[in-house]
Amino acid sequence: MIKKFAYMKIVVLISGSGSNLQAIMDACQSGYIAGQVVGVLSNKADAYGLVRAQQAGINTAIINHKEFATRQDFDLAMQKIIDAWQPDVVVLAGFMRILTPAFVQHFEGKLINIHPSLLPLYKGLHTHQRVLATGDKLHGCSVHFVNAELDGGAVIAQAVLTVAANEAEQSLIQRVHKLEHIIYPLVLNWLSYGRLSYQQGLPVLDGQTLSTPMKLLFD
């Protein structure tokens, strides 16, 4: 269970540019999130998110998944580094590795992810392309607690937009990215100020179990 923290310690896992990491760091700096990013871990040495973290004076670590014989060994190496940072919450922000059940169980209740679709729709990759191919009118992103199922786990909140007529994929990608930078800090705000917790596999917001995600509607 996640409870109210005097100062929430956040670890972020990345594989790329770290734009969501930047949004989270900015929200911590402003006080919107009552916490601090204490560590950033990447499986790719050239991930620009590491530069963002280092410029902000945040601890970083690189663990190349290609150097491990098994996923289990890789995840255990990550787990040891993350545990040393003693996080209250572990945030997946464009971390492009499938986690083992043992890793997920170790961090159960404090491991969250953002996915560029309105889960449970379009788990996996190429979500924007699939939305356009299907002709869906609505699209967006979801923040969820992580379980052993790919893009599974209870969904906390979703940012929803209307797909424009004849919208190009790149346009849709950019619009959803902007929503990610709003909804991820929002969920971390709820966590850090004690409004959101994890109880028996479900999110509880302001004392109410969320049987369906909180939805934020955008144009």
Residue 41 — pLDDT band, cuts 50, 70, 90? very high
Residue-level pLDDT at 150: 87
| Confidence category of residue 219, pLDDT binned at 50, 70, 90 | confident
Q: Which residues are catalytic?
A: 115
Question: Per residue in 179-198, pLDDT tens?
Answer: 999 999 999 999 999 999 99
Which tens digit of pLDDT belongs to each residue from 105-157?
999 999 999 999 999 999 999 999 999 999 999 999 999 999 999 899 999 99
Residue 113 lies in a domain: yes
Strand ranges for the chain from DSSP E:
8-14, 35-42, 59-62, 89-92, 111-115, 138-145, 155-162, 196-199, 202-205, 208-209, 214-217
Give the chain's domain count.
1
Asked if residue 1 belongs to a domain, the reply is no
What is the largest distance, in Å, between two alpha-carbon atoms of the chain? Answer: 49
Q: Distance (Å, rounded) from C-alpha 33 to C-alpha 117? A: 24
Give the domain CATH number at 125. Answer: 3.40.50.170
The answer to the question of residue 27 being in a domain is yes
Of 55, 63, 54, 67, residue with least CA distance to 81 = 63
Residue 52: CB atoms within 10 Å: 21
Mean pLDDT computed over every residue of the chain: 96
Q: Residue 201 falls within a domain, yes or no?
A: yes
Residue 202 lies in a domain: yes
CA atoms within 13 A on the CB side of 6: 0
Q: 2 in a domain, yes or no?
A: no
Global model pTM greater than 0.75 = yes
What distance in Å separates the CA atoms of residue 126 and residue 20, rounded to the nearest whole number?
18
Structural domain of residue 193, as residue ranges?
8-217
